[in-house]
Structure 1
Amino acid sequence: MTVAVVQFGGSNCDRDTVQALEALEIDAERVWHEDSLPEDTDGIVLPGGFSYGDYLRAGAMAAHSPIMDEVKEAAEGGTPVLGICNGAQVGCEASLTPGAFTTNESARFQCEHVHVSVENADTPWTRQFEEGEVIELPIAHGEGRFEIEDDRLAALEDDGRVLFRYCEADGTVTPEANPNGSKHSVAGVTGEAGDNVAVLMPHPERATLPDIGVTDGQGVLEGFRTD
C-alpha cells in the first residue's frame, strides 16, 4: 500500500511522517496539495506544521486546498485518513471530523510529552492497544484545545468516537494532565464518515523510533496496515 502524506505550504512534519511510516515498512510519499492523489493511494496523512501560516484560523485555509476534495471523497469511500496536529485542525475545518481546535487555555505554544488513555480500542488507529491503556506521545501546538457543543460531545462519547483522552501516567483524567484545556480532555476523535478517519493533536510520528526512547506512536500508525 502507499500512504500519501499531503504537503501544504507551511507543513513541517511531512518528512518526519514519511520516515516514520517507512520505518514500519509502510510505503509513503509526499504529495503537494495542488496536485492529485496518486492512483495507488491506500491511505492519507494530513501532517503537522503551520499550513498557510495559520492565517485566519489554524487549518482553515488548507481545508480549501485543491486536494481536499479528493481527500474527502477517499475518506467517504473508506480510505484511512489521519490528521495529526495541524492536520487535525485541517480535518476539523474540512468537516472530516466534528468540533474545532482552538487556542490553548494557556495562550502559549506548548511542546512536551503527554499521556493519553485509549478510549476505544476497536478502531484501526487503536487496535494495537487495550481499552484504557495509557500511552505516551509528544505534543507541539498553540491551538490544540478541542471545543464542541455539549450535545455533540455527548453523542461522540455515546458512539465511542473519542479516540484518546489526556490523562496522568496512571490513567487518571485530571485538569492538570490536560495540556491545552480541551473539553473533556479529548485528544483525538474519529470521523463523520467512519472510524477510518481520525484526528489527534499528539504526534505519533515523533514517537516511533527506538533511538528516541518512545515508540507508542507505532501503534497509531499501524492503522494504515491492511494485512
Structure 2
Amino acid sequence: MTARVGVITFPGSLDDRDAARAVSLAGAEPVSLWHGDTDLGSVDAVVLPGGFSYGDYLRAGAIARFAPLMDKLADAARGGLPVLGICNGFQVLCESHLLPGALTRNANLHFVCRAQRLRIENAETEWTRSYEEGQEIVVPIKNIDGRYIADEATLEELESSGRVVARYMDVNPNGSLNDIAGICNEAGNVVGLMPHPEHAVEALTGPTSEGLGFFTSILAGMAGASPSEARESA
C-alpha cells in the first residue's frame, strides 16, 4: 500500500508543488491539504512547505499557526505523526510550539539564496534515517528570516540530546546560533529545516539530488526499516 504524505498549502505558500513532487519521486502519494481544512484525512505524514504564509505579516509563521488545520496537526504530531517543516514550515512549527526557539531576520538583513553545504548531525529521526551521521550534502537555501535563535538553556538541551538535525558548513548564511540549520522534537518525528531539500531531488533541477533522502527516510520508517537498513536501501 502506497504511503500518503500530506502537503499543506497556506495563502502565500510557494514550494508546495515542489514538496509534492519530492514526495512523489520518493515513491509516496502526495495529498494536497488546505490550511482551512479541519481534517488531515488518512495521511501517514505531513510536510509544511516553504513560502510566505499569510504574507509573513506580523511575523514569519505567526498567523499560520492559527490556521484551522494546525490544531489537528499539532495534536497528531504530539501523537507521533511524522511532520517536516521546510523554511516557512520550520517557522510555523516554532510558532506553534511544536519545536523550540524562533526564526528571526538574517543577521546581515539580506535575503540569501545559494547552494548550501550541510552536515547531517542526527540520522535517527523519521526524516533523516536515509543518511549517515556526519554525512555532508548540498541543498539550496533561500530565506530572509532564517536565523535560528533560542535561549542558552534550550541550545544546551538541543545539543546535549542530539536534537540538532543539520548544521551549516563552510559559511553560516543567516547567523543561526551554533550554525543550526534544522532541529527535531524529543521523539524525532517532528523536524524543522531551513534549507530546501525538495529543491535537490533530481540533477536536472537542483545542485544535487541529495535532498531526496529526507523524503525516502519517511517511507523507510513506515516500512519498519531501521536507520541502517534505510541507508543501505537509499
**TM-score of the aligned structures, taking structure 1 as reference length:** 0.93
Amino acid in structure 1 at the alignment position of 2:122: N
Give, in whole Å, the separation in 2 of the partners of 1:118 and 1:53.
31
Give, in whole Å, the separation in 1 of the partners of 2:67 and 2:218.
23
Give, in whole Å, the separation in 2 of the partners of 1:36 and 1:48.
21
Mean CA deviation greater in 45-54 or 29-38: 29-38
Matches within 5 A, 1:19-34: 19-34=21-36
Give, in whole Å, the separation in 1 of the partners of 2:22 and 2:194.
17
Q: Could you list the runs of 5+ residues in structure 2 that have no partner in the other structure?
A: 224-234
Aligned to 1:60: 62
Aligned to 2:211: 217
Give, in whole Å, the separation in 2 of the partners of 1:124 and 1:38.
19
CA contact (8 A) 1:112 1:140 kept: yes
* Change beyond 3 A, Cα 1:57–1:114: same
1:183 matched to 2:197? The reply is no
Amino acid in structure 1 at the alignment position of 2:104: T
Q: Could you list the runs of 5+ residues in structure 1 that have no partner in the other structure?
A: 169-176
Secondary structure, aligned partner of 1:210: coil
Superposed displacement of residue 77, structure 1: 1.2
Secondary structure, aligned partner of 2:19: helix
Aligned to 2:136: 134
Amino acid in structure 1 at the alignment position of 2:131: F
Superposed displacement of residue 39, structure 1: 2.5
Superposed displacement of residue 82, structure 1: 0.3
Superposed displacement of residue 68, structure 1: 0.5
Give, in whole Å, the separation in 1 of the partners of 2:215 and 2:102.
23
1:12 matched to 2:6? The reply is no
Give, in whole Å, the separation in 2 of the partners of 1:223 and 1:8.
25
Superposed displacement of residue 87, structure 1: 0.4
Matches within 5 A, 1:37-186: 37-168=39-170, 177-186=171-180
Secondary structure, aligned partner of 2:183: strand
Secondary structure, aligned partner of 2:44: strand
Give, in whole Å, the separation in 2 of the partners of 1:100 and 1:142.
13
Give, in whole Å, the separation in 2 of the partners of 1:164 and 1:23.
22
Aligned to 1:202: 195
Secondary structure, aligned partner of 2:115: strand
Give, in whole Å, the separation in 2 of the partners of 1:39 and 1:146.
32
CA contact (8 A) 2:83 2:190 kept: yes
Runs of 4+ in 1 over 3 A off after TM superposition: none
Cα RMSD, aligned residues only: 1.0
Amino acid in structure 1 at the alignment position of 2:58: L
Superposed displacement of residue 219, structure 1: 0.6
CA contact (8 A) 1:82 1:199 kept: yes
